[in-house]
A and B are shown apart, each in its own frame.
Chain A
Amino acid sequence: MYSDKVFDHFAHPRNMGEIENADGVGTVGNQKCGDIMKIYLKVDENEVITDVKFKTFGCGAAVATSSMATELVKGKSIKEALALTNTAVVEALDGLPPAKLHCSVLAEEAIKSALADYYTRRGIDPTPIIGCSGNCSCCGHDHDPAHEHIHNEEK
């Protein structure tokens, strides 16, 4: 079901934890859906993400995608982090079962949500920079077909 990389990230998650005095914090998902991801960011004056931590309530894929997402943005500029897609996360993990693709979407959103918070704290409106990175009543608000497919099934 899961690739070796997914099992590895599950067994040895990277960057798990909290950051006190973080520059941006984002939480997506909700307990009703069974998936919640929280990202903490530390950003320096050059807009480089110097530290990133995650916390996740969710399945093996949820843990692995959030762990991988933190690896992919750590040390990168905000601009590079904004370009992170759920597809990149899935590829980095050597793939995910179709039913778990929505976890990767949530991971992408969690990063974006933390970045949005970073801007908001500085009095900058994040929407033109990030696009919709809010958190709807279920697993994140987004236009990804993989994610919508799951929602339609739920109905």
Chain B
Amino acid sequence: MNKFVYADNAATTKIHPLVVEAMIPVLSDTYGNPSSIYGIGRHAKTFLDNARNIIASAINANPDEIIFNSGGTEGDNAVIRGIAKANAHKGKHIISTKIEHHAILHTLDVLKKDGFEITLLDVDSEGFVTAKALEQAIRPDTILVSVMTANNEIGSIQPIAELGAICRLHKIPFHTDCVQAVGHIPIDVAAMNIDLLSLSAHKFGGPKGVGALYVRRGIRVPSYLTGGGQERSRRSGTENTAGIVGMAKALEIAVDELESERTRLSKMRDRLIDGLLKIPYSRLTGSRDNRLPGNASFCFEAIEGESLVLMLDMFGIAASSGSACSSGSLDPSHVLMAIGLPHEIAHGSLRLSLGRDNTEEDIDYILETMPTVVDRLREMSPVWEDMNRKDANNV
């Protein structure tokens, strides 16, 4: 019996069976180009319109405020580059945070080369931005604020409504990379004062390669993919009809079951956290409150994250780490650095993220397996050897 526990839903999620079911007729039969004027084209267009309505209603937006695209990275790029370009005559200052996804940070780096000034707000030791910090960073030449709704590594959920309200006061467009949050916690762009929002289907049970950007009426994101004029000329390219239909179905299901899933996952996550914190020299990263329902992230001293992930894989558990080795650079995750963890501790990070298919048995198995894995790696570790020697000497 080869047990397999998928605990990396923050990386991507399994497509819901009903989503596959919804996509197949589009792939097989309704293959028309939605811009075509004959029947099979119009039929495809109807699918798009329905999908647009569903996505809009899931975040309390208007359908005409939704632009379909290839995912979160495209949405983030479109907003950062587009708003910067469109408003450069008014100012060249952009505010974001130290814990954003690379789709935001690396895009901001590109803007720096074009003379934009970027302020990255600090976060506290649990990964939260404060309204006060934002208020203090705003300048007369600030043209955009971008703060992610929930962090992908440590699950911290930001006070988006409060931050949005400050931006509204200063008449600065407020964008949120909502990729990890949509479908998992309630999102209401009106109540949360959000002007722009990125979302991605494969984080909530939909297919990969498709997402949407919400742009409030009155905000201008210049057209960045020019061509046939799709998405009201804001983002040309023949639509990924099947993907979009799948995305809408996935979001519909996610929103429908949001409260019950949130409750179910939070309980399992908390049991996981309580259990794993019993391992000596372990700590939770992020906070216990205001945390994504499925996200549990830790650091284990004296061992390294990639080897932790590889060994868990040997036991059939899929998870991820913010360690340098697993990121391909020599620095551990920028998020763990931003919350003030020293390098040595940050290298031993592990992220478990639960989703719809995880069960209590999965949690049991992880709790059973982790101590063995940590022990095996510590047995191999010269750092652990030193720690024990120090402890023995201190007795």
Partner of A56, one of B306, B310, B311, B380: B380
A19 at the interface (CB under 8 A from B): no
- Chain B residues near A154 (CB, 8 Å)? 329-331
Question: Is the beta-carbon distance between B380 and A62 smaller than 8 angstroms?
Answer: no
Known: A55-B381, A55-B382, A57-B382. A153 touches B314 (CB 8 A): no
Minimal Cβ-Cβ distance residue in A for B332: A34
Nearest-neighbour CB distance to chain A for B344, whole angstroms, equals 4
A144 to B199, CA, bound (A): 44
A93-113 contacts to B, CB under 8 A, are 99-100
A150 to B328, CA, bound (A): 10
Question: Is the beta-carbon distance between A59 and B303 smaller than 8 angstroms?
Answer: no
B302 at the interface (CB under 8 A from A): yes
- Chain B residues near A38 (CB, 8 Å)? 382, 385
A63 to B383, CA, bound (A): 14
Nearest-neighbour CB distance to chain B for A46, whole angstroms, equals 29
Which of B305, B323, B380 neighbours the largest number of chain A CB atoms within 10 Å of its CB? B380
Question: Is the beta-carbon distance between B343 and A59 smaller than 8 angstroms?
Answer: no
Known: A31-B347, A32-B343. A58 touches B304 (CB 8 A): yes
Known: A32-B343, A36-B382, A38-B382. A58 touches B325 (CB 8 A): yes
Chain A window 115-136, contacts with chain B (Cβ cutoff 8 Å), 1 for yes, 0 for no: 0000000000000000000000
A7 to B313, CA, bound (A): 11
- A interface secondary structure, majority: mixed
Which of A11, A31, A61 neighbours the largest number of chain B CB atoms within 10 Å of its CB? A31
Question: Is the beta-carbon distance between A59 and B306 smaller than 8 angstroms?
Answer: yes
- Chain B residues near A56 (CB, 8 Å)? 380-382
Which of B303, B305, B310, B379 neighbours the largest number of chain A CB atoms within 10 Å of its CB? B310
Minimal Cβ-Cβ distance residue in B for A102: B330
Chain A window 1-32, contacts with chain B (Cβ cutoff 8 Å), 1 for yes, 0 for no: 00000010011010010100000000100011
B266 at the interface (CB under 8 A from A): no
Partner of B343, one of A11, A18, A27, A34: A34
Nearest-neighbour CB distance to chain B for A151, whole angstroms, equals 8
Nearest-neighbour CB distance to chain A for B109, whole angstroms, equals 15
A90 at the interface (CB under 8 A from B): no
Partner of A27, one of B305, B311, B382: B382
Partner of B307, one of A18, A27, A58: A58
A35 to B344, CA, bound (A): 10
A52 at the interface (CB under 8 A from B): no
Partner of A55, one of B314, B326, B343, B380: B380
Nearest-neighbour CB distance to chain B for A63, whole angstroms, equals 6
Nearest-neighbour CB distance to chain B for A17, whole angstroms, equals 8
A54-79 contacts to B, CB under 8 A, are 55-63
Question: Is the beta-carbon distance between A153 and B382 smaller than 8 angstroms?
Answer: no
B302-354 contacts to A, CB under 8 A, are 302-307, 310-311, 314, 323-326, 328-332, 343-344, 347
Partner of A60, one of B306, B324, B330, B343: B306
Question: Is the beta-carbon distance between B325 and A62 smaller than 8 angstroms?
Answer: yes
Question: Is the beta-carbon distance between B382 and A37 smaller than 8 angstroms?
Answer: yes
A13 to B311, CA, bound (A): 12
A138 to B220, CA, bound (A): 48
Known: A18-B385, A32-B343, A55-B380. A63 touches B307 (CB 8 A): yes
- Chain B residues near A31 (CB, 8 Å)? 343-344, 347, 383
Question: Is the beta-carbon distance between B344 and A59 smaller than 8 angstroms?
Answer: no
A57 to B323, CA, bound (A): 12
Chain B window 266-307, contacts with chain A (Cβ cutoff 8 Å), 1 for yes, 0 for no: 000000000000000000000000000000000000111111
Chain B residues with CB under 8 Å of chain A are 302-307, 310-311, 314, 323-326, 328-332, 343-344, 347, 379-385
3 A-B pairs with the lowest CB-CB distances in the bound complex, closest first: A59-B325, A31-B344, A59-B306
Extra contacts, 13 of them, besides A35-B304, A58-B325, A100-B325 (Cβ < 8 A), are: A10-B307, A11-B314, A13-B380, A31-B347, A33-B324, A34-B324, A35-B325, A38-B382, A57-B381, A59-B310, A59-B323, A59-B325, A60-B325
28 intermolecular pairs with C-beta atoms under 8 Å apart? A10-B307, A16-B379, A18-B385, A31-B343, A31-B344, A31-B347, A32-B343, A34-B304, A35-B325, A36-B382, A37-B382, A38-B385, A55-B382, A56-B380, A56-B381, A57-B303, A57-B384, A58-B304, A59-B307, A59-B310, A59-B326, A61-B325, A62-B304, A62-B307, A63-B307, A99-B328, A153-B329, A153-B330
